[in-house]
Amino acid sequence: MRRDGLNGENGIFRNADEKSFRIDRIEPVRGKTKRSWVRFDGAEDICLYNKEIRRLGLEDGQEMPGTLYGQVIREILVPRARKRALHLLEKQDRTRANLRDKLLEGGYPASVADDAIAYAESYHYIDDERYARNYVYFHKSSKSRRRMVMDLQRRGIDRGLADRVLAEDYDTDEDSLIHSLMEKRHYDPENADQKERSKMYRYLVSRGFDSNAVCEALRG
C-alpha cells in the first residue's frame, strides 16, 4: 500500500502546530557551505539550505511557530528526503538500516528519514530479505557462513533473518570451498614456505572459516 502522508497521515506534526519552538542556534553544516543546522530546544533539529533559512527569517533565539515548523517538515524536508532515498536506491540495493543511516548523515530528522524509508518500502524498493538472499547468492562461493552472518548484520540485517536465509540458501561445503579458494590463489601445500602458509591462513580465517579446518587444509 502506498504511503502518501508522513507516518501514514499528514497530521504527524498536527500537535506541533499548536506549539512554538525556540531556536537554540543556527550553525553551518561541517564541510558544507550552502547548508546549516537549525538547532531547537524541544524539537528535532533540521538541516536547511542557507537561502531557505534567510527566506524563512530564522535567527538564533527566535521562537519558531509550530505551524511554520510543521510546514517546513511537510513541504520541504519530506519531499526532499523521499527524493534522496530513491536516488540512493538507484545507485545500489540497500538495507533499511543502511538507508536510514545515509539519510541521517544527510541531515534529515529521524522522523523524516523513517517516513522516506516507509515511502520507498511501499513501492518495494527496499526489501531486507531480498537483499540478504542476493548477498548470499553472490558471496557463497567465497565466504563462510559465519562471515556472511557477520557481514549481513553489519549491513543492518536482523540476525534471525540472516540465519533463516543462510539455512535456506547456503548449501556450500566449506571444506571444499577452502580448497577451492586455495587453488584460486595458487597455493601449493607441498611446496609452500612459512610466509606463504601464514598469508593463506590469514586470508581464509578473515573469511570466517574455522581455524582448525584451515590449518588442516594448509597441511595438505
Write down the mean pLDDT value for the chain.
90
pLDDT value for 10: 43
User: Do the beta carbons of residue 98 and residue 155 sit within 8 Å?
Assistant: yes
Q: In this model, does residue 131 exceed pLDDT 80?
A: yes
Q: Which residue has the higher pLDDT, 4 or 29?
A: 29
Q: Cβ contacts of residue 154 below 8 Å, gap of 6+?
A: none
pLDDT value for 190: 87
How many whole angstroms separate alpha carbon 84 and alpha carbon 106? 9
pLDDT value for 31: 84
Q: Which residue has the higher pLDDT, 219 or 112?
A: 112
- Give the pLDDT band of residue 91 (cuts 50, 70, 90): confident
Q: Which residue has the higher pLDDT, 13 or 68?
A: 68
- Give the pLDDT band of residue 8 (cuts 50, 70, 90): very low
Q: In this model, does residue 22 exceed pLDDT 80?
A: yes
**Which CATH code fits 6-122?**
1.10.10
DSSP assignments along 87-151, one per residue: HHHHHS---HHHHHHHHHHTT--HHHHHHHHHHHHHTT---HHHHHHHHHHHHTTTS-HHHHHHH
Q: Which residue has the higher pLDDT, 4 or 58?
A: 58
pLDDT value for 6: 47
pLDDT value for 12: 47
Q: In this model, does residue 15 exceed pLDDT 70?
A: no
